[in-house]
A = this chain, B = another copy of it.
């Protein structure tokens, strides 16, 4: 497991920025490919999911190795991952973008919720998705998928680097999800990215207010007008941001 520990104050910042803003902050640093593609919330939750990645890797299932009795083994990697994912972390599953069989179901996700895990993400699909959507835990997938994971997925190992939705995920990276989707922030960048994203969010909130009041975006977004920069400073003071 990564030695990196996400500080509470950074996490607090990440609770109040969008995945879109984080993508832009990463783009500035040359990272163009950190948004997990074609994955969405099982149900929108309003608030953000923030936590470090705990990963689980699936490979295609070979029939003889994936009969139902494999789950009798307490060390089966899917079950072990669910019991070992640290509280506050996000379980991220590499399902090879294949939603034709499930990555997990409601009982396992309930267990994660009870263990204090922040969320679960797969680039495949969940079964029991209506139940999962009703749970008090963030869950992201491609689409609902009723067949047991054994149909197509062999759970191989956890806590290793993976791909998820065309994004590299290294254990310990910081995962942020909102109602739009999920972004992966490399842990060595998270402090500066969180700080910058919070600043950007203040500016975008100011801009949104200005636009709602009828202003043009030219000169305002980005702030190429001196007047915009002055108005923003006044807005910050007034709003304590």
Contacts and interface: CB of A to CB of B under 8 A. Distances in A.
Given A130-B44, A211-B111, A27 B221 contact: no
Copies in the complex: 6
Contact of A146 (B19, B82, B208): B19
B147 A64 contact: no
Interface in A91-107: 96, 98, 100, 102, 105-107
Contacts of A218: 74, 79, 83
Interface in A56-72: 59-65, 68, 71-72
Chain A contact-residue range equals 35 or more
Interface stretch (A6-14, A178-186, A230-238): A178-186
Given A27-B150, A111-B216, A180 B63 contact: no
Contacts of A72: 222, 224
B147 A23 contact: yes
A86 interface: no
Contacts of A22: 146
A183 B146 contact: yes
Interface string A140-165: 00011111101100101000011100
Contact of A32 (B24, B102, B147): B147
B148 A27 contact: yes
Interface of A: 18-20, 22-24, 27-35, 37-38, 40, 44, 59-65, 68, 71-72, 74, 79, 82-83, 96, 98, 100, 102, 105-108, 110-111, 114, 127-130, 143-148, 150-151, 154, 156, 161-163, 166-168, 178-181, 183, 186, 204, 207-208, 211-212, 214, 216-219, 221-222, 224
Given A37-B100, A108-B217, 12 more contacts: A20-B148, A27-B147, A27-B150, A31-B62, A35-B146, A59-B162, A60-B163, A71-B221, A72-B224, A96-B163, A98-B166, A107-B217
10 contacts: A23-B148, A32-B63, A33-B63, A40-B143, A106-B208, A128-B180, A130-B178, A130-B179, A130-B180, A146-B183
